[in-house]
């Protein structure tokens, strides 16, 4: 059972095929509605890519090595004949705000059915930590283009016109991980997770400079990660810890867990009796 942001999850209480549905209703308040929409996206974990309905991203996370000038990810529209208006942006947190030190191009574009397009992410000048990874979120909003002409200008006026018709928008978020150069021990980082007893249940500690995304955790035969947990509580930032409430455990116990790697695959680890 996984609880990472790459695994299907309804963040807004309105779920369509495992993804959020965002109703954009008032043209006059379109930008406010858009801010709300971007705060209510969700993600899906489907093999090597992340997808909802007919829209698919070319990965479940995007790694940004510090030495690169930019990184790209592919957006594919397999929506059965529907064109979409696509608006990508980078957020500082899962539910916003914006203002992350990255710019995304194109900022708004039309994606025809069975089409694909590359989204480019460029880091802006900013003093991010050099001794650990930093976590951001790439948010991709898709709104059915409806009767918008294919040659319509892709700007906020076009977006406002469509959102004023009460259309339903769908979206995703995937992790954007900024990785400084020269950090040691990436391949073994997931296995260095420390799991111990706490007053609430289980304490998780990440002693590494890398972000650890947990997909599953088993303590003494008990599956610790439940649907009640948030994405934040199962994404351990570098040099951080997290307490997970869980009752009925007997210690010491055999411990097993799975983490999600750069490619979206699962890696299995075992710990001694703790």
DSSP 138-192: EEEEEEE-TT--TTS--SHHHHHHHHTTT-EEEEEEEEEEEE-TT---STTGGGG
18 closest CA partner among 49, 48, 41: 41
145 closest CA partner among 127, 133, 134, 161: 161
User: Does residue 31 come out as left (phi exceeding 0), alpha (psi in the -120 to 50 range) or beta?
Assistant: alpha
- Looking at the 3D structure of the chain, how many domains does it have? 2
Q: Is residue 3 situated within a structural domain?
A: no
Q: Same structural domain for residues 107 and 154?
A: yes
Give, to the nearest 10 degrees, the angle between helix 156-163 and helix 30-38: 90
Regarding beta strands 235-236 and 212-219, do their DSSP bridges make them parallel or antiparallel, or are they unpaired?
antiparallel
**Alpha carbons 219 and 104: distance in angstroms, whole number:** 41
Q: Same structural domain for residues 137 and 49?
A: yes
Structure tokens at 88: 């990508």
Q: How far is C-alpha 69 from the geometric centre of its chain's CA atoms?
A: 22
Q: Same structural domain for residues 255 and 144?
A: no
Q: Same structural domain for residues 34 and 127?
A: yes
- In terms of residue numbers, what domain contains 57? 15-179
Final residue before a domain boundary, out of 114, 148, 179: 179
Q: Is residue 201 situated within a structural domain?
A: yes
Q: Same structural domain for residues 265 and 236?
A: yes
Structure tokens at 135: 């976590």
- The CATH number of residue 72's host domain is 2.60.40.10
Query: What pLDDT tens digit does each residue of the chain (274 aa) get?
Result: 334 444 333 333 222 233 343 334 333 334 444 433 333 333 333 333 454 556 788 999 999 999 999 999 999 888 667 888 899 999 999 887 778 999 999 999 999 888 999 999 999 999 999 999 999 999 998 888 765 655 555 555 655 555 544 445 577 889 999 999 999 999 999 999 999 999 989 999 999 999 999 999 999 999 999 877 788 789 999 999 999 999 989 999 999 999 999 999 999 999 866 6
Q: Is residue 95 situated within a structural domain?
A: yes
CB count in 10 Å sphere of residue 71? 18
Q: Is residue 5 situated within a structural domain?
A: no
Residue 17 carries which DSSP code? T
Q: Same structural domain for residues 206 and 159?
A: no
Q: Is residue 4 situated within a structural domain?
A: no
Dihedral sign of CA atoms 235, 241, 246, 249 in order = positive
Regarding beta strands 84-91 and 134-144, do their DSSP bridges make them parallel or antiparallel, or are they unpaired?
antiparallel
Q: How far are the Cα atoms of 14, 87, 109, 166 from residue 29, in angstroms, in the given order?
A: 21, 17, 21, 12
Q: Same structural domain for residues 66 and 156?
A: yes
Q: Is residue 2 situated within a structural domain?
A: no
CB count in 10 Å sphere of residue 264? 19
Residue 25 carries which DSSP code? -
Residues 61 and 211: beta-carbon distance below 8 Å? no
Please list the residues that pair with 86 across neighbouring strands: 109, 142
DSSP H/E element including 204: strand 201-206
Final residue before a domain boundary, out of 159, 179, 199: 179
Q: Same structural domain for residues 79 and 101?
A: yes
- pTM of the complete model: 0.78
């Amino acid at each position: 059972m996984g609880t990472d942001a790459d695994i299907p999850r309804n963040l807004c209480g309105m779920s369509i095929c495992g993804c959020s549905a965002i109703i954009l209703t008032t043209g006059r308040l379109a930008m406010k509605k858009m801010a709300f929409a971007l705060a209510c996206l969700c993600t899906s974990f489907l093999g090597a890519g992340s997808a909802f309905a007919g829209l698919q991203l070319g990965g479940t996370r995007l790694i940004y090595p510090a030495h690169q000038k930019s990184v790209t990810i592919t957006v594919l529209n397999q929506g059965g004949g529907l064109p979409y208006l696509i608006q990508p942006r980078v957020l500082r947190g899962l539910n916003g705000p914006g203002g992350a030190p990255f710019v995304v191009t194109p900022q708004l574009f039309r994606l025809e059915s069975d089409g694909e397009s590359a989204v480019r992410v460029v880091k802006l000048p900013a003093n991010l930590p050099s001794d650990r990874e930093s976590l951001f979120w790439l948010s991709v909003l898709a709104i059915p283009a409806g009767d918008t002409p294919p040659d319509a200008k892709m700007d906020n006026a076009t977006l406002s016109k469509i959102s004023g018709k009460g259309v339903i928008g769908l979206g995703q978020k995937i992790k954007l991980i900024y990785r400084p150069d020269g950090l040691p021990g990436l391949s073994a980082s997931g296995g260095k997770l420390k799991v111990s007893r706490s007053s609430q249940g289980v304490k998780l500690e990440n002693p590494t400079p890398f972000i650890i995304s947990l997909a599953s955790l088993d303590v003494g035969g008990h599956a610790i990660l439940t649907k009640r947990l948030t994405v934040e509580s199962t994404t351990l930032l570098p040099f951080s810890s997290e307490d997970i409430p869980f009752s009925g455990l007997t210690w010491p116990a055999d411990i097993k867990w799975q983490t999600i790697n750069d490619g979206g695959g699962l890696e299995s680890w075992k710990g001694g009796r703790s």
